[in-house]
A and B are shown apart, each in its own frame.
Chain A
Amino acid sequence: MKKLVNWQSFTAGFWKENPILTLMLGLCPLLAISGSVTDSIGMGAAFTFVLVGSNVIISAIRRLVPNQVRIPVFIIIIAAFVTITDYFLAAFIPGLKKNLGVFLPLIVVNCIVLGRAEAFASRNNVVNSLLDGLGMGAGFTIVIVLMAAIREALGNGTLGPLRLFGPHYNPFLIMILPPGAFLVLGFLIALKNSLSERGKKC
């Protein structure tokens, strides 16, 4: 028996099925955008909007789409939402659109979005798909903002508009540059591994 509203589909994205930390999907925007906290929040919001929108529409038409052509149909729906986001940002927040650059249209081929459409939205009702989209989007946003906070604090001494370490801080520049992204994510996953190893021993 499937319940009409299942809160688990919302909370799963946070930790247990976190799209990045456990599934290793959607790395490109994560590493590229996480140099700045403001951009990361924008990327998280755009990503969540596309995920929620496509999940809801795909779930609503899931009985109408023949099984053989479902993947192309899903991709066109996702592309439509990405185009909406792209033009919305171009009109209202052009600065953010410029910073996100090519990673905004590239949400189309992001494995998380198509993966959730295929694995969840095409098999569940509209409300649960909405919650799943929100949860996965939030899981993505949490990780990208956390990474951006670490990188921006160490590499620039700031956190959005705040100056953290006073005017004499000598920034750890490599953290803002591309190698820092790989380094921070490597250490974050190692931390998660050692936490779960410790959990097993107890």
Chain B
Amino acid sequence: MLNQLNPGLIFLSAFLVNNILLIKFIALCSFFGLSSSFSASLGMGLAVVFVMVMSSSVSWAVYHFLLVPLHLEYLRTTTFILTIASLVQFEEIIIRKKAPALYRALGIYLPLITTNCAILAAAFLGIDYQFNFLQNVVYSLGVSGGYCLAILLFAGLRERVSSAPVPSSFQGVPIAFITASLMSLAFLGFKGLFKL
């Protein structure tokens, strides 16, 4: 089981081996929507790291200290999405007051994050794998780092592809999918890194 591993391996597994975008297919809307611009990808990637670590820690606490003692596990989906939506609003207000420079960099990506399924998925998966709190933090760092890595690599590739002579029916979205397929193939190579 994943929760028996040491923190370093949990991080590597989430970061490379089970990369959330290329292997697990979560949060693909933002992957294809934003990756045509490198700076937008960087902004979204950093916003995801920032929000995911906080929201999955808070969701973990809500689940283990509120829902489990009250036997309300069936409200998990509803509670998590409300927790994440209000947390994102809260973070937005705090960043705007305390760190205007950071707000200018991340500002427009924060509201988008509420519907980024990676955030919700990381919260669910942390519960499903039965992590303790520390493992959960390491796991969400790995997942969001993997998101950042994949979307930045992909944005770089798409900037190169956009100047290449592509057949007309493959221009735009189809060639992006083919590119993603080759990247995913490369990430599949990390499977041999260690045995679970």
Residues of A within 8 A of B (CB): 24-25, 27-28, 31-32, 72, 75-76, 79-80, 82-83, 86-87, 102, 105-106, 108-111, 114, 174, 177-183, 185-187, 189-191, 193-194, 197
- B115 cross-chain contacts in A, Cβ below 8 A: 109, 111, 114
Further contacts, 15 of them, CB under 8 A, given A25-B29, A187-B174: A24-B32, A31-B28, A79-B77, A82-B77, A83-B78, A105-B76, A105-B124, A106-B120, A111-B29, A178-B23, A179-B182, A185-B177, A186-B175, A186-B178, A193-B174
B188: Cβ under 8 A from any A Cβ:
yes
The segment from B52-60, B132-140, B165-173 found at the interface with A is B165-173
> What's the nearest-Cβ distance from chain B to residue A153, in Å?
18
Instruction: Check A190 against B174 for contact (C-beta < 8 Å).
Output: yes
Instruction: Check B26 against A28 for contact (C-beta < 8 Å).
Output: yes
Main secondary structure of the interface of B (DSSP, over half): helix
Given A87-B74, A106-B117, are A179 and B169 neighbors across the interface (CB < 8 Å)? no
- B177 cross-chain contacts in A, Cβ below 8 A: 182-183, 185-186, 189
> What's the nearest-Cβ distance from chain B to residue A57, in Å?
15
A114 to B116, CA, bound (A): 13
Given A109-B115, A193-B174, are A75 and B81 neighbors across the interface (CB < 8 Å)? yes
Kindly report which residue of chain A lies nearest to residue B19, judged by CB atoms.
A178
Kindly report which residue of chain A lies nearest to residue B122, judged by CB atoms.
A102
B153: Cβ under 8 A from any A Cβ:
no
B125: Cβ under 8 A from any A Cβ:
yes
User: Which of B124, B178, B182, B188 interacts with A102 by CB under 8 Å?
Assistant: B124
4 pairs of A and B residues whose beta carbons are closest in the complex: A186-B177, A182-B181, A194-B169, A32-B25
B95: Cβ under 8 A from any A Cβ:
no
Given A102-B125, A189-B174, are A178 and B22 neighbors across the interface (CB < 8 Å)? yes
Instruction: Check A109 against B181 for contact (C-beta < 8 Å).
Output: no
- B181 cross-chain contacts in A, Cβ below 8 A: 179-183, 186
A178 to B25, CA, bound (A): 8
B161: Cβ under 8 A from any A Cβ:
no
Kindly report which residue of chain A lies nearest to residue B86, judged by CB atoms.
A72
Kindly report which residue of chain A lies nearest to residue B191, judged by CB atoms.
A177
- A178 cross-chain contacts in B, Cβ below 8 A: 22-23, 25, 184, 188
Instruction: Check B85 against A75 for contact (C-beta < 8 Å).
Output: yes
A181 to B23, CA, bound (A): 10
> What's the nearest-Cβ distance from chain B to residue A163, in Å?
26
> What's the nearest-Cβ distance from chain B to residue A113, in Å?
11
- B22 cross-chain contacts in A, Cβ below 8 A: 178
> What's the nearest-Cβ distance from chain B to residue A189, in Å?
5
Instruction: Check B117 against A109 for contact (C-beta < 8 Å).
Output: yes
A24 to B36, CA, bound (A): 15
A179 to B120, CA, bound (A): 24
Kindly report which residue of chain B lies nearest to residue A195, judged by CB atoms.
B169
- A105 cross-chain contacts in B, Cβ below 8 A: 76-77, 120, 124
> What's the nearest-Cβ distance from chain B to residue A112, in Å?
10
Given A72-B85, A179-B185, are A28 and B78 neighbors across the interface (CB < 8 Å)? no
A76 to B85, CA, bound (A): 12
Instruction: Check A183 against B178 for contact (C-beta < 8 Å).
Output: yes
